[in-house]
Amino acid sequence: MKRYLYVFPALLTAGLACTFGGSIPAEEGTSVTPEETILYQDDFSTNSGGWPEFDDPQGTTSYYNGGYRIHVTGAEWDYFGSPTIENTPADVIVEVDTTKHGGPIQNKFGIVCRLSDTPEGSNMYYLWISTQQYSAIGKFVNSKRTFLTDIEIWSPNPAIHPGEAINHIRGECIGNTLSLYANGTLLLQATDDQFTEGKVGLISGSYKEGYEGTDILFENFVVKTP
């Protein structure tokens, strides 16, 4: 489990200030088209997937009630975890069900792809949403975050279910195109060609002091090849 402190931009922090309600229809769950093949799946009923369990003053990750929980207790921290999968291909589709288990509505959580570690830090693409109905695609380069979508034009998307409702997230990392879906609806796309290989995983993060405590439960993690 890697962790790192990141001071969130004032622009984005100020932009997160909405509340809302909704639910997820049953037909929006994980499905496989004829062109997709399941590479790996984990319902978190056991710890055989090798997901890291970690506990420190800033946050914890653990198997919990049939899911994988990432609880970020410190302000301005991001935590991510990756399962044990051999020979993860560069082009992947990752799906997972998410529930806000606790903490503020100012949160962020989702999937990562093409994850690798170097002596200089962690590298990955992230595709995440918040229960304030915002979303973002970006990357960490040596543990420093940049956005690949324009945060200045963010607006709430009703496809993202608020509160404690389930959100089904689908992230596609195919070629140089990154696509983020929530509950069957395409939210964002971005292009970038910096990372061409690496692992997949899950990520959660907290905002500035007073908004810490992001607590997300992940279930039904599936990795597919397009």
pLDDT tens across 116-158, in order? Answer: 988 889 999 999 999 999 999 999 999 999 999 987 557 889 9
Tell me: pLDDT of 45 over 70: yes
**Where is pLDDT greater, at 17 or 162?**
162
Q: Can you give the pLDDT at residue 89?
A: 93
Report which of residues 65 and 28 the model is more confident about. 65
Q: Is the pLDDT of residue 208 over 70?
A: yes
Residue 50's nearest CA partner among 97, 82, 96 is 82
Fold of 2-9+39-218: Jelly Rolls (2.60.120)
> By percentage, how much of the chain surpasses pLDDT 90?
68
- pLDDT tens track for 185-202: 999 999 999 999 999 999
Q: Give the per-residue pLDDT at 152.
A: 57
C-alpha dihedral (14, 140, 226, 155), degrees to nearest 10: 10
Amino acid 12: pLDDT:
28
Query: Looking at residues 162-184, what average pLDDT do you find?
Result: 97
Q: Give the per-residue pLDDT at 87.
A: 85
Higher-confidence residue of 15 and 175: namely 175
Helix or strand holding residue 216 (H, E): strand 214-225
